[in-house]
Structure 1
Amino acid sequence: MLEAEEKAELIKVLNMHFIEGLTQSQIAKAFHVSNTIISRKINKARDYNLIDYFFKDETSFTVNLERLLEKQYKLNEVIIVPTLGKDFDMVEYEISKAAVYYLLNNLKTVHLIGLTWGKALWRFTKELPFQEHNHLCIVPLCGGIGSSGLEIHSNAVVFEMAQHFSCEYLQLYAPAITRSFELKQQLSKMSVISTILDKGSNVDLAVVGIGDMTPSGTLRKLGYLKETELLYLKKVGAVGDIGCMYYDRDGNEIDSDFNKKVVGVSLNTLRQIPNVVGIAYGIQKKEAVLGALRGNYINTLVIDSELASLLHTEG
């Protein structure tokens, strides 16, 4: 029996071949694989009778929307998890599984993986299979020391992934947010920290969460962002954050004292990473994801169908 993630991928290939009229060679180029692999996928879809009914399946709707969003925002790939009739926990689980499936199929040319932090990243790493990938090294993209929510800090999710993959990992022994810009500068000059930040700037692939501006957002909920700071960031146009770095609706980094105190890879550096995979779910993330897309911080997006529909309508 096909896993849901593999079925969705096969239907995407069928859609590109039979609906969009792309050749197997063109599809192979889009997936960064050989023609032979695409041929095998089409044959596998035929073996499972997917060709006969994929037009009627809910997955075919999400595949069409994926292709629209890929073209609309010039993304490498969009993966959409259907949400109809599912509660939040199930959506969260299926989003994580979809992100894991994508990662496992894109590890061949990857050596350095960077992770930010947050609940989405924590759930994602928990769903990773226990497989040996000892050619990998996992790196935190922002600081990971604090007194609250320790399990979702960057160092914790990096360790979790390394445990699942039996591979090397690095730790960033600095807080994500310092007390002052001066302290951030001092810490960043320390070789034990600057070395990790340099590694983070040169990862082959990054997996990031996308924070929103709601009072229940992780930074605010854990007390790392004061209510007055949240209100100020909203006032100056912030719509979301990646790795604690806030940006506006057009994707421009917010010029604020808060951003200047963050120990981590900058948003500008994030743009230079070959493949940044963003994980987001829930309609409250709409403005944050739109800003991230407009800022070109994301290359690959894993989201739920409700959020995807909003992005297509308002992008």
Structure 2
Amino acid sequence: MLNTDDKKMIIKICKLYYYESWTQEKIAEKFNVSRPFISKMIQKAREVGIVEILVHDDSHQTYELEKGIEQMFNLKQVLVVPTRDLNNELVTSAVGKAAAQFVQKLIKDGDRIGVSWGNTLYHMVREFPLEKKGNVKVVPLVGGTGNERTEIHSNQIAYEMAKKLGGKCESLYAPSIVETEQLKEQIVRLPNIASVLAEGEKVDLAIVGIGNPYSMSTMERFGYLTEEVLDELKELDVVADINSRFINREGHMVSHSINNKVIGIGLESLKQTNNVVGLAFGLHKIDCIKATLKGGYIQMLVTDEATANKVINDR
């Protein structure tokens, strides 16, 4: 049993430690005792019930979803963002913020980071904290020029991310998709384009969006996909695009001329990258995510709770 003086001492220590976030070293200096003594008092407080550790686990279900998807698709890591009862705008913000924190922890000094394009990457970068890293460079993995919604283009995303990290960035001054395969071959041979694509092949970390070509498609809105092309892609059972390449339900890149007109690193190169994070959320992305996971293009996934639940439970 603790006497009154010991109990008062322990309460004072715990208030400094838990309420005011003092380190054990600082508390030890204040009371002129050793750090192990403070550690022992904090442990004692738990044992006798002075301190109770309560974890508000609203995320138990999301944890189960994360582990389920990781095991089902042999992924390194999955982040499922709790989004129950949030409207669409708040879901977008929550996923962007969570993705930013997730990616930030993956980045090390000296890393080369590749980024694709799209709304989800834009929201991630907008929420990205200012945290300078040493000798970091951000590289666009796919072209994307034009005057419409420039904030979601790969060059702008690379620039904004590099600014947040205090690093450098490259720019890929080319469209995502060009009119002919011959034009594509001419453009990728240009020295300034070829050098950026070569850097994209060697990134330490890639962050890519997963698109649905038929629903809320950025590529369709930008005029890259005509009705005729969309019909042809449907005939090939295409369900998703990654880095502006189109894949079918089984995760295979389809044999369509549009895949040969893309200026950016290919999906086989993406597979060779050790750390690829895929960002996608919303129920219209379920088949897209499944196809991407089946194809083995990403090792990490960030999505929302409702989508994750469908991915793992809808067979």
TM-score (norm 1): 0.81
Verify the 8 A CA contact 2:97 2:123 in the aligned structure 1: no
Tell me the residue number matched to 1:259.
259
Query: Where has structure 1 moved over 4 Å in runs of 4 or more?
Result: 49-54
Give the fraction of aligned pairs with identical amino acids, expressed as a percent.
34
1:131 Cα offset (Å): 2.2
Task: Give the Cα–Cα distance (whole angstroms) in 2 for the partners of residues 228 and 267 of structure 1.
Answer: 24
Verify the 8 A CA contact 2:66 2:78 in the aligned structure 1: yes
1:240 Cα offset (Å): 0.4
Helix, strand or coil at the partner of 1:232: helix
CA gap 1:50/1:90 in 2 versus in 1, 3 angstroms: farther
1:134 Cα offset (Å): 3.6
Verify the 8 A CA contact 2:209 2:279 in the aligned structure 1: yes
Task: Give the Cα–Cα distance (whole angstroms) in 1 for the partners of residues 200 and 266 of structure 2.
Answer: 10
Matched, 1:190 2:212: no
Tell me the residue number matched to 1:40.
none
Task: Give the Cα–Cα distance (whole angstroms) in 2 for the partners of residues 221 and 302 of structure 1.
Answer: 24
Q: How much is the aligned-residue C-alpha RMSD, in angstroms?
A: 1.8
Task: Give the Cα–Cα distance (whole angstroms) in 2 for the partners of residues 160 and 70 of structure 1.
Answer: 30
Q: Which amino acid in structure 2 is aligned with residue 221 of structure 1?
A: R
1:179 Cα offset (Å): 1.0
Helix, strand or coil at the partner of 1:105: helix
Q: Which amino acid in structure 1 is aligned with residue 242 of structure 2?
A: I
Task: Give the Cα–Cα distance (whole angstroms) in 2 for the partners of residues 307 and 137 of structure 1.
Answer: 32
Tell me the residue number matched to 2:268.
268
Tell me the residue number matched to 1:128.
128
Helix, strand or coil at the partner of 2:241: strand
Q: Which runs of 5+ in 1 are unaligned?
A: 1-42
Q: Which amino acid in structure 1 is aligned with residue 287 of structure 2?
A: E
Tell me the residue number matched to 1:299.
299
Tell me the residue number matched to 2:284.
284
Larger Rg: 2
Tell me the residue number matched to 2:67.
67
Q: Which amino acid in structure 1 is aligned with residue 84 of structure 2?
A: L
1:110 Cα offset (Å): 5.7
Helix, strand or coil at the partner of 1:210: strand
Tell me the residue number matched to 1:175.
175
Q: Which amino acid in structure 2 is aligned with residue 155 of structure 1?
A: N
Q: How does 1:78-89 map to 2 (within 5 A)?
A: 78-89=78-89
CA gap 1:110/1:223 in 2 versus in 1, 3 angstroms: same
Q: How does 1:142-161 map to 2 (within 5 A)?
A: 142-161=142-161
CA gap 1:210/1:183 in 2 versus in 1, 3 angstroms: same
1:149 Cα offset (Å): 2.2
Tell me the residue number matched to 1:212.
212
Q: How does 1:200-239 map to 2 (within 5 A)?
A: 200-239=200-239
Q: What per-residue deviation string (whole Å, max 9, x for no partner) do you get for residues 172-201 of structure 1?
A: 111111110000001111111111111101
Verify the 8 A CA contact 2:119 2:152 in the aligned structure 1: yes
Tell me the residue number matched to 1:311.
311
Paired residues in the alignment total: 267
Tell me the residue number matched to 1:137.
137
CA gap 1:92/1:238 in 2 versus in 1, 3 angstroms: same
Tell me the residue number matched to 1:19.
none
Helix, strand or coil at the partner of 1:277: strand
Q: What per-residue deviation string (whole Å, max 9, x for no partner) do you get for residues 187-222 of structure 1?
A: 111111111111101100011110013242111122
Q: Which runs of 5+ in 2 are unaligned?
A: 1-42
Task: Give the Cα–Cα distance (whole angstroms) in 1 for the partners of residues 52 and 137 of structure 2.
Answer: 38
Q: Which moved more, 1:260-269 or 1:130-139?
A: 130-139
Q: Which amino acid in structure 1 is aligned with residue 286 of structure 2?
A: K
Verify the 8 A CA contact 2:109 2:135 in the aligned structure 1: no
Verify the 8 A CA contact 2:139 2:171 in the aligned structure 1: yes
Q: Which moved more, 1:279-288 or 1:129-138?
A: 129-138
Verify the 8 A CA contact 1:117 1:154 in the aligned structure 2: yes
Verify the 8 A CA contact 1:115 1:158 in the aligned structure 2: yes
Q: What per-residue deviation string (whole Å, max 9, x for no partner) do you get for residues 248-291 of structure 1?
A: 11110011111111000101111111111111110100111101
Q: Which amino acid in structure 1 is aligned with residue 193 of structure 2?
A: I
